[in-house]
């Protein structure tokens, strides 16, 4: 049986399903590209839509984000087993918005997406796979991607509706958007300790508030979590994976949770 180079890379990539292996690979690439080759690039102007201190906060958390890939995996794992794309993951194009490090991109590869079909975009980058750009003004043509994943990025936006519209624009009709929020605003003690408050004043309190940003283009909701509906202590991220309808006006339904 003949193996292609890309096929061999995909098979090796599956070892990164073991989180310690993923951390090691991500750290080695970080050390080579950022620490040794000094490849870091930072956006010159974040723009008014980006919350104050966003670049500073994400620069400080770049290395730490490698070991926090679980925040992205709550989207990547269910995304990778949705039947409509599972059988053809290798050919699906993916845009990762605001990944900070390569860890999220490597996790996408570990779950079956092809490395050559994965792009990232961020205000900071040390990786040739992560373009410098603003999620409010993405420099990609309409209908460029089959999947857009945006983990914990809306908290850094002063104009989340504008960011959501850009995600809808660059994803293909019936493509998938995977989005989540943080677990809540930073408490005063920690904000005082780091010397600033990262993120915007916008805060989502329910799944419906999050989905409303994308209306009327939300078609089918395949996976979601709404802590506002839980009994007892509230917590955890609000998240949704849904298909996008470019034909406005379709109502959405939930197929699984």
Predicted confidence (pLDDT) per residue in 145-195, tens digit:
999 999 999 999 999 999 999 999 999 999 999 999 975 555 566 666 677
The residue among 199 and 27 whose pLDDT is bigger is 27
pLDDT at 231: 56
CATH code where residue 89 lies: 3.40.50.150
| E-state strands within the chain | 41-42, 94-97, 118-122, 124-125, 130-132, 145-151, 171-180, 218-225, 239-244, 253-254
Choice among 32-46, 101-115, 119-133 with the minimum mean pLDDT: 32-46
Q: 153 vs 3, 65, 159, 252, 256, CA distance in Å?
A: 38, 13, 11, 23, 24
Number of domains, the chain? 1
pLDDT at 11: 72
DSSP symbols for 196-255: S--S-S----SHHHHHHTTTT-EEEEEEEE-GGG-SSS--S--EEEEEE-SSTT---EE-
pLDDT tens-digit map of 238-253: 999 999 999 864 545 5
Q: Give residue 257's pLDDT band: very low, low, confident or very high (50, 70, 90).
A: very low
Mean pLDDT of 220-245: 84
Using an 8 Å Cβ cutoff, are 218 and 252 in contact? yes
Using an 8 Å Cβ cutoff, are 51 and 158 in contact? yes
Q: Any idea what DSSP says for residue 186?
A: P
Q: Is the dihedral of CA 66, 99, 228, 245 positive or negative?
A: negative
Q: What is the phi/psi pair of residue 81, to 5°?
A: -115, 10
pLDDT at 238: 93
pTM of the model: 0.90
Residues 6+ apart with CB under 8 A from 165: none
197 lies in which domain range? 5-254
Mean pLDDT of 48-64: 91
């Amino acid at each position: 049986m003949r193996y292609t180079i890309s096929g061999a890379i995909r098979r090796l990539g599956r070892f990164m399903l073991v989180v310690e292996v993923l951390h090691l690979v991500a750290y080695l690439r970080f050390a080579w590209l950022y620490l040794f080759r000094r490849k870091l690039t930072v956006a010159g102007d974040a723009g008014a839509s980006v919350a104050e201190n966003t670049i500073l906060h994400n620069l400080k958390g770049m290395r730490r984000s490698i070991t926090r890939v679980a925040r992205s995996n709550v989207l990547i794992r269910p995304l990778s087993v949705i039947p409509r794309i599972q059988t053809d993951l290798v050919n699906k194009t993916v845009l990762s918005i605001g990944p900070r490090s390569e860890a999220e991109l490597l996790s996408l590869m570990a779950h079956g997406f092809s490395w050559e079909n994965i792009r990232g975009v961020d205000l900071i980058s040390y990786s040739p796979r992560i373009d410098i750009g603003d999620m409010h003004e993405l420099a990609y043509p309409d209908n460029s991607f089959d999947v857009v994943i945006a983990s914990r990025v809306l908290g850094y936006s002063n104009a989340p509706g504008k960011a959501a519209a850009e995600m809808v624009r660059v994803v293909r009709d019936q493509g998938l958007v995977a989005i989540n929020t943080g677990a809540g605003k930073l408490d005063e003690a920690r904000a005082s300790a780091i010397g600033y408050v990262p993120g915007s004043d916008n805060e989502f309190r329910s799944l419906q508030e999050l989905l409303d940003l994308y209306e009327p283009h939300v078609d089918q909701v395949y996976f979601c979590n709404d802590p506002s509906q839980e009994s007892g202590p509230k917590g955890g991220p609000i998240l949704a994976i849904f298909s996008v309808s470019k034909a406005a006006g379709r109502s959405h339904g939930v197929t699984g949770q």
